[in-house]
C-alpha cells in the first residue's frame, strides 16, 4: 500500500495539485443527482456524487482467467469528497457532463493524503472515461437492493453446484429488476449446461437487450460466448430444418466475432467459429482452417479442433494432412472412432 501511495503521489502531485486545490467542496444541491444509461433513458436512477477522476492509467496487474487477456482494463484514481459509505469491493460509476454513465469502477483501495485528502483507486473498463469526470454511487432502493442480494446468493449457490437454489435466487432478482443483465447471463449458462437451449438463448437475448448495463468487457464476452455456444450446439447437436440451421449458423458467426472482438484468444470461440465457417451452406474453408489452427495454438489438446482440420483436408482429398491431423487427434483420444475412420481411409 505504501508503494501505491508513493507512486500515485509522485505521478500526480505536481500535475493536479494546483488544478484541484479547493475544488472538492460539495454543496448540498450537488450531492444527489440522476444518472442515465443512454441519451434515450428518461428515467435513470438516483445517485450520490462521491468524487472526481484525476488520473486514468493502464492496469498491468496480473489477473486470472479471461481478465489477464483483456487489455483495455484500466485503473482510475479518484479524489473523494468523503469516503462515507464506500468500502473495498464496492461498485461506483463515472458520469460525463450530461450525467451519462461511461464507466463502472470496482474499488480496490482508499487512503488519505495531506495534499489531496481521501483518494480512491479502482479498476474497470474505462475507455470512454476522462479525467475530471464525476464518480457516483447508486442510491439503491428497496427493490434494487433485493435484486443485488438475490443475484449474489444465486452466484453463491451456482458456485457450490446447487443449481436449483441458484435458479430460484436469479429469478427472484429478475422479479424486482427485469433488466438485470448479469442475472440473465448467469441463468443462461445454467440452462446451457443442462442443454436447455431455447431457455438459455432467451436469457442471453434478454441480457443483450440490456447490454448498456454491462460495463465490464468480461461480462460482454461471456454474453457473446454464451450466444455463440447456444447456436453452435443447436446447429450441430440437434435436428433442425435446413433453413433454421443455416439461420443459427449465421447468427453463431456473428456472435462468435463479437466475442472474439473482446477476447481474441478464446479457445472455445475460435473453435466454434472455425466449425461455423466449415460446416455451413456456403463454407469458407480458408477461414475455417485459420480459426481451427488458432484454436489448436491456444489448446493443443483440443481433439475436436484436430478432427475439424482432418475433416477439412479430407473434404479436399489432401490425404497427408488429413491423416496427420487424425493421428494427432488419436494421440489425445486413442478410442476416437472418427479419427480412426479418417486414418483408415487414407493409410
Q: In percent, how much of the chain has pLDDT > 90?
A: 63
Across 26-30, 41-45, 281-285, which has the greatest mean pLDDT?
281-285
pLDDT of residue 52: 94
Is the per-residue pLDDT at 60 higher than 70?
A: no
Is the per-residue pLDDT at 298 higher than 60?
A: yes
pLDDT digits over 185-241, tens only?
A: 999 999 999 999 999 999 999 999 988 778 778 899 999 999 999 999 999 999 999
- Domains annotated for the chain, with CATH where assigned, are 2-139 (no CATH), 140-215 (1.25.40.10)
Average pLDDT value for residue range 235-249: 96
pLDDT of residue 59: 52
Task: Give the SS3 label for residue 64.
Answer: coil
- More confident of the two residues 35 and 223: 223
Is the per-residue pLDDT at 18 higher than 70?
A: no
pLDDT of residue 29: 57
Q: How many CB atoms lie within 10 A of CB 225?
A: 25
Is the per-residue pLDDT at 40 higher than 50?
A: yes
Q: In whole angstroms, what is the distance from residue 284 CA to residue 278 CA? A: 6
pLDDT of residue 115: 86
pLDDT of residue 72: 52
pLDDT digits over 66-91, tens only?
A: 444 444 557 899 999 988 889 998 88
Q: How far is CA 237 from CA 228, 232, 245, 325, 329, in A?
A: 14, 8, 11, 23, 20
pLDDT digits over 139-184, tens only?
A: 876 667 788 788 889 999 999 999 999 999 999 999 988 889 999 9
Q: In whole angstroms, what is the distance from residue 328 CA to residue 305 CA? A: 10
Amino acid at each position: 500500500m505504501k508503494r501505491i501511495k508513493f507512486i500515485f503521489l509522485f505521478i500526480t502531485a505536481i500535475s493536479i495539485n494546483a488544478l484541484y486545490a479547493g475544488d472538492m467542496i460539495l454543496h448540498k444541491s450537488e450531492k444527489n443527482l440522476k444518472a442515465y444509461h443512454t441519451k434515450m433513458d428518461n428515467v435513470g436512477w438516483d445517485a450520490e456524487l462521491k468524487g472526481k477522476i484525476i488520473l486514468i492509467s493502464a492496469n498491468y496487474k496480473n489477473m486470472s482467467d479471461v481478465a489477464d487477456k483483456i487489455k483495455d482494463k484500466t485503473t482510475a484514481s479518484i479524489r473523494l469528497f468523503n469516503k462515507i459509505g464506500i468500502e473495498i469491493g464496492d461498485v461506483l460509476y463515472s458520469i460525463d457532463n450530461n450525467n451519462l454513465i461511461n464507466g463502472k469502477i470496482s474499488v480496490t483501495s482508499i487512503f488519505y493524503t495531506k495534499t489531496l485528502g481521501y483518494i480512491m483507486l479502482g479498476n474497470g473498463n474505462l475507455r470512454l472515461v476522462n479525467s475530471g469526470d464525476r464518480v457516483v454511487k447508486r442510491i439503491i432502493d428497496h427493490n434494487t437492493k433485493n435484486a443485488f442480494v438475490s443475484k449474489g446468493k444465486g452466484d453463491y449457490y451456482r458456485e457450490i453446484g446447487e443449481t436449483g437454489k441458484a435458479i430460484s435466487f436469479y429469478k427472484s432478482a429478475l422479479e424486482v429488476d427485469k433488466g438485470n443483465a448479469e442475472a440473465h447471463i448467469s441463468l443462461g449458462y445454467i440452462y446451457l449446461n443442462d442443454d436447455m437451449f431455447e431457455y438459455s438463448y432467451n436469457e442471453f437475448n434478454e441480457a443483450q437487450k440490456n447490454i448498456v448495463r454491462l460495463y465490464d468487457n468480461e461480462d460482454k464476452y461471456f454474453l457473446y460466448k454464451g450466444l455463440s455456444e447456444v447456436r453452435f450446439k443447436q446447429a450441430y447437436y440437434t435436428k433442425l430444418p435446413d433453413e433454421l440451421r443455416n439461420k443459427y449458423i449465421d447468427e453463431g458467426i456473428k456472435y462468435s466475432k463479437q466475442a472474439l472482438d473482446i477476447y481474441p484468444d478464446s479457445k472455445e470461440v475460435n473453435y466454434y467459429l472455425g466449425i461455423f465457417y466449415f460446416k455451413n451452406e456456403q463454407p469458407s474453408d480458408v477461414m475455417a482452417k485459420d480459426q481451427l489452427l488458432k484454436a489448436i495454438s491456444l489448446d493443443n489438446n483440443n481433439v475436436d479442433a484436430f478432427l475439424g482440420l482432418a475433416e477439412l483436408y479430407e473434404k479436399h482429398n489432401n490425404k497427408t494432412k488429413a491423416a496427420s491431423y487424425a493421428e494427432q487427434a488419436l494421440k489425445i483420444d486413442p478410442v476416437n472412432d472418427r479419427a480412426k475412420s479418417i486414418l483408415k481411409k487414407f493409410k
